[in-house]
Amino acid sequence: MRARIAAEAVRLKEAHRIVPTVAVVLVGDDPASALYVATKEKAVKETGFAARDLRFPASSSESALILEVEKLNADPSVHGILVQMPLPPHIEPRRVIGAIHSGKDVDGLTPANAGRLLTGEFGLNRGLVACTPLGAMMLLKETLGAQLSGLDAVVIGRSTLVGKPMAQLLLQENCTVTMAHSQTRDLAARAARADILVSAVGRAELVKGDWIKRGAAVIDVGMNRKAGADGKSKLVGDVAFDEALEVAGAITPVPGGVGPMTIACLMRNTLIAASLQAGLPSRDV
């Protein structure tokens, strides 16, 4: 997909003199956030896009950050705006995200884009969809194809970043969706009935092998640190991978599963945004 996006970026540049440009906003000096930003910016440049790196001290006020977002909204050379989370405690993320113009919301998190997803009014020439659930849905379609319709799906986690949009995308594919979370009773039994199981709760290896229906498709969105036998920490997902591998029909690893799809979908959203802002129809990549 990244190769197709890069080819479309070349076409846009040659035919319309447009270079898709994304502004990445980082507040504070959190090492994990800085690493995520560097990964995103590398992918942006490898795809033939342009990146703007805007960094602000952790002491920045919410009003000052919103003012910077509004400047980016008004800048015609910027097609996508990405505010890296988490923000410092004194800044309300919803107000900052809400300040982003929906047409430049390449994370797909503004109320306007979330609303379009809820009502089913999204697509290439309409709204932008949150990158991680969009990437997860692409993986499911690639694996299951038309067989998605009528399947039982369980989404563990109810965040606006993954859980809620993931459930909406599954509903759009005619799945029967159960949303589960930290207060769900008998979570293991609910999970065990799922043909599609998506976990996005951020709890290391919460989902055990015996929670998974034989042959189920498992999407692991978790990214957690766990101490290994040698005392060093390692990245693990929400799913106990080795146990799940014995029963799942398909499963995403951590790292290297949903993460690369998230980055690719960020590029895809930026390409769509650049086309729409130029009054051009988007091409499906």
106 phi and psi angles, rounded to 5 deg? -70, -15
Name the DSSP letter for residue 35.
Answer: H
Looking at the annotation, which residues are catalytic? 40, 84, 107
Q: Is the Cβ–Cβ distance between 56 and 65 less than 8 Å?
A: yes
Q: What is the torsional sign of CA 127, 132, 133, 134?
A: positive
Integer Cα distance of 252 and 255 in angstroms: 9
Q: Within the chain, how many helices (H) and strands (E) appear?
A: 10, 10
Integer Cα distance of 244 and 207 in angstroms: 8
Parallel, antiparallel, or unpaired: how do β-strands 233-236 and 224-227 relate? antiparallel
Q: In sequence order, what are the beta bridge partners of 207?
A: 239
Q: Is the Cβ–Cβ distance between 207 and 199 less than 8 Å?
A: yes
Q: E strands within 144-183?
A: 152-156, 176-180
Q: Count the alpha carbons within 13 Å of 211 in the hemisphere toward its beta carbon.
A: 22
